[in-house]
Amino acid sequence: MEFLYLLESIRNPVCDAIVGALTYLGDEIAFLATALVVFWCFSKHRGYYLMSVGFCGVVINQTLKLIFRIPRPWVLDPNFKAVESAIPAATGYSFPSGHTQNAAGTFGGLARGAKKTWARIVLVAIVVLVSFSRMYLGVHTPKDVLVSLLVGAVLVFALYPLFEYAKKNEKVYYIIFASFFLITLAYFAFTQIYPSFVELDAAHINSGVKNAATILGATAGILISFPIESKFVKFDEKATLLGQIVKVAVGLAIVLALKSGLKAVFGGDDEIMFLRAVRYCLIVVFSACVYPLTFKYFAKIGKKKA
Q: How far apart are CA 155 and CA 141, in angstroms?
A: 22
Note whether residue 214 is domain-resident. Answer: yes
Helix 117-136, helix 13-22: angle, nearest 10: 120
What pTM, to 2 d.p., does this model score? 0.90
| CA 171 and chain centroid, separation | 25
* Cβ burial, residue 47 (10 Å; 0-12/13-18/19+): buried
pLDDT tens by residue, 6-22: 988 999 999 999 999 99
Assess if residue 58 is contained within a domain. Answer: yes
Residue 218: which domain range? 2-298
pLDDT band at 196 (very low <50, low <70, confident <90, very high): confident
- How many alpha carbons fall within 13 Å on the CB side of residue 305? 0
Q: How many domains does the chain have?
A: 1
In a domain, 282, yes or no: yes
Share above pLDDT 90 across residues of the chain, in percent, rounded to a whole number: 71
| Cβ–Cβ under 8 Å, residues 49 and 301 | no
**Among 281, 70, 56, which Cα is nearest to 183's?**
56
Task: With respect to residue 306, please indicate whether it lies within any of the assigned structural domains.
Answer: no
- d(C-alpha 294, C-alpha 290), whole Å: 8
Decide if 304 is inside a domain: no
Domain-embedded: residue 93: yes
Task: Evaluate whether residue 150 is within a structural domain.
Answer: yes
pLDDT computed for residue 1 by the predictor:
81
Q: What is the pLDDT of residues 90-148, one digit of tens each?
A: 877 889 999 999 999 999 999 998 889 999 999 999 999 999 999 999 999 999 999 99
CB distance 41 to 239 below 8 Å: yes
Model confidence pLDDT, tens digit, residues 10-61: 999 999 999 999 999 999 889 989 999 999 999 999 999 999 999 999 999 9
Any domain includes 15: yes
Q: How far apart are CA 208 and CA 93, in angstroms?
A: 9
